Amino acid sequence: MKCHSRLILVQCIGAALSGLTLAHAASAPAADAPEFRVSQFERAVSVDDTGRATTRVTVSVVLSTDAALRRFSQYAVPYNADTQSLTIDEAQTEHPGGQRVSADLVSAVFDRPAPATVSAPLFSAAHLRIVAFPATSVGDTVHLRYTLQDRETMFPGKFAEVVDYPPTEAFDDVKETLDTPASMAVRVEAHGLQADGDTVNGTRHIRVYRYRTPPTGPVAAQGDAVAAIDAGPYFVATNFADYAEIGQAYEQGARPQAQVTPAIQSRADEITANVTNRRAQATLIYDWVSRNIRYLLAWVGTGPVVPHSAESVLRNGYGDCKDHVTLFIALLAAKGIHADSVLVNLGNSYRLPNTPAWALFNHAITWLPEFGVFADTTNGFAPFGILPFPVSDKPALDAATGEMLHTPPQNGTNSTSATDYAIAVHDNGDADLTGSITLGGQARIGPGRQLAQYSSGRIAYDLLRQSGLNGTLHVAATKRDAPGALRFDLKSTIDNMAIMPGPAALAVPTLPNYGSIRGFADYVLRQAGQPLDGPCSGTALHEHYRVTLPADATIIAIPPDVDTRSGDVSYTARYRRDGQTVEIDRVLVRNFRTNVCSAAMLQQLSPAARVISGDLKRQILYR
């Protein structure tokens, strides 16, 4: 289970989990033989009149395999060191015979900062309290009791509880108890749980819910899946009335920080000097913030939901996501361009519960209504108007208006990749390659980051290794800040590309690229039988090859043309011969309206994927 803390709003705003987090997407045996079982999970939350919560958790996990032993012999309880106190009340190992061994709560319990994410690498108050269980072996059960106490609330007078129960994990007995003031208006959504009590006792209102994994057992874990809260049971409780109230609470702290001061006005004027077009001004400001304000976790004192002032972010040259948004909004306002803070999920969660669950908002971006554009300056490599994949196709709460917007999905309209190779095969079977990779929109973000961080030699090494080919590769590229598409020019010698002399056959292998048609076909065919929905990207891919065989080779046959369509996916392949040269042109267009591939959607795409997979295996026959 995963408890989404009252102290998480955005990953960059302060990623602090409350409660016990069990691994979700790790590999597991078949569904009828789980590697561990949560034999007991009881969570009692008591909320006072100020919204502060005291959470008491009792959890027991049966360690059925070596993998479970490695995972749970040390238990990590996340909490926020600035706003919560955490007490480990009891930790025991129970052997199959019933003997219990207690952990030393002094020497076997220690704290460390929570692992930083790649996207937000520094300075967070998120901590992990590690409990080392004694004398654990396969077959044992570990028992843990702990108490988490709010010292302050994220928003004055407000509480929120979000817990999910992954369908890939086995739960024997779950009990959720919520104890709130009887006078407090509370919304509860217990999706997949059963109500087991609802009583008012004087000034307190107590609700009880239960859950256990169905008799069929947990579903098999899969690597590419949406977040557990999108896929299985969950419990949400809060005294926020709706999502608009969440936006209002955030905006009250954030908007005053975006004041246009003389320093902000001066910098905005400098960035946009001699430019009068408003969209061009917005683009220049976006580019400046993206390149000049380092992205890191740096909130101190003001709490995880109140940004630093725009002027201080400008002066310091760094900030977290909400600081980025605040400075961007202030610089835009200095040029008369309105923009709003928008809260989204940066990850694999694509839906929101009906009951307002602000813990699922773990990132802040900007909405520019004048241009109908979302912008995320924290990425540093996304062109203006293009969002990174992790925030694409997401509910997006406009904090200023309370309106629930939706970010656009990644598809062929905003993400393109084109490879163009000339392949000259020699008499010994080696081949010389010259070509280019051209990336537009979202597809250029990752390679643009590589170009900024690595040498051309490192990029060439990685591209050649990922293609599975042997030989040499040299890469030259435009600078990452060049406008428009990002282009890599490549020259390579590939060992043993073809068998020479013939008779033989040549199928064009996967050549160095940043997104292949083969990868799409493999993904669909691999995931089509999986039980859970999964994230899926939709870049439009164009692969063009000119394959020239040696003069003494005779081409016998080339593959037939292919046209296929399934749902929002179309694929064409054209083969043309001109003397010793075969020209191959393949185009895959994915105009996805969502970046969540359901089992039904993948089944619909499977016929096209099979046709594509077969076409990619077709060969040029020669002797």
415 has pLDDT over 80: yes
402 has pLDDT over 80: yes
* 8 Å CB contact between 71 and 26: yes
HSE, CB side, 13 Å, CA atoms: give it for residue 530. Answer: 23
Q: Which CATH number is correct for 246-406, 3.30.70.141, 3.10.620.30, 3.60.15.10, 3.40.30.10?
A: 3.10.620.30
8 has pLDDT over 60: no
Range in 60-74, 104-118, 175-189, 428-442 the model is least confident about: 104-118
221 has pLDDT over 70: yes
pLDDT one-digit tens code per residue, 270-318: 999 999 999 999 999 999 999 999 988 654 434 568 899 999 999 999 9
Instruction: Please state the φ and ψ torsions of residue 405, each to the nearest 5 degrees.
Output: -90, -175
Average pLDDT over residues 3-13: 44
Structure tokens at 410: 């990644």
Per-residue b/e over 592-615, b at no fewer than 16 CB within 10 Å?
Answer: bebbbbeeebbebbbebbbbbbeb
Report the DSSP beta bridge partners of residue 375: 366
Q: How far apart are CA 62 and CA 58, in angstroms?
A: 14
pLDDT one-digit tens code per residue, 57-70: 999 999 999 999 99
DSSP string, 412-461: TTTEEEEEEEEEEE-TTS-EEEEEEEEEEEGGGHHHHHHHHHS-HHHHHH
* 8 Å CB contact between 64 and 37: yes
Per-residue b/e over 389-421, b at no fewer than 16 CB within 10 Å?
Answer: bbbbbbbbbbbbbebebebbbbbbebbbbbbbb
Average pLDDT over residues 199-207: 97
The confidence score (pLDDT) of residue 484 equals: 75
Helices and strands in the chain, H and E counts: 12, 36
The confidence score (pLDDT) of residue 174 equals: 98
Average pLDDT over residues 607-622: 94
Average pLDDT over residues 27-48: 81
Under the banding of pLDDT at 50, 70 and 90, the label for residue 508 is confident
What is the average pLDDT value for the chain, to the nearest integer? 89
Average pLDDT over residues 250-273: 97
Under the banding of pLDDT at 50, 70 and 90, the label for residue 516 is confident
Under the banding of pLDDT at 50, 70 and 90, the label for residue 391 is very high
The confidence score (pLDDT) of residue 124 equals: 54
Three-state DSSP at 246 gives: helix
Under the banding of pLDDT at 50, 70 and 90, the label for residue 2 is low
The confidence score (pLDDT) of residue 120 equals: 43
Evaluate the omega torsion of the peptide bond into residue 501 and state whether it is cis, within 30 degrees of 0: yes
The confidence score (pLDDT) of residue 613 equals: 95
pLDDT one-digit tens code per residue, 526-564: 888 888 999 999 999 999 999 999 999 999 999 999 999
What is the CATH T-level fold of the domain 2-239, as seen in this structure? Answer: Immunoglobulin-like (2.60.40)
Evaluate the omega torsion of the peptide bond into residue 113 and state whether it is cis, within 30 degrees of 0: no
The confidence score (pLDDT) of residue 473 equals: 93
Which CATH class, in words, describes the domain spanning 415-622? mainly beta
195 has pLDDT over 50: yes
Cβ–Cβ contacts within 10 Å for residue 554, how many?
A: 11
358 has pLDDT over 70: yes
Q: How far apart are CA 24 and CA 36, in angstroms?
A: 12
Average pLDDT over residues 453-478: 89
515 has pLDDT over 60: yes
Domain spans in the chain, listed from the N-terminal domain onward: 2-239, 246-406, 415-622
Look at 457 and 125; give whichever has higher pLDDT: 457
Between strands 174-181 and 36-47, the pairing is parallel
Q: Is the dihedral of CA 4, 7, 10, 11 positive or negative?
A: negative
Under the banding of pLDDT at 50, 70 and 90, the label for residue 19 is very low
Q: How far apart are CA 143 and CA 92, in angstroms?
A: 5
* 8 Å CB contact between 356 and 242: yes
Q: Percentage of the chain with pLDDT > 70?
A: 91
Under the banding of pLDDT at 50, 70 and 90, the label for residue 188 is very high
Under the banding of pLDDT at 50, 70 and 90, the label for residue 4 is low
Structure tokens at 207: 């609700």
- The reply to whether 2-239 and 415-622 are identical in fold is no
Average pLDDT over residues 379-406: 96
DSSP symbol at 359: G
121 has pLDDT over 50: no
* 8 Å CB contact between 3 and 150: no
Q: How far apart are CA 513 and CA 300, in angstroms?
A: 42
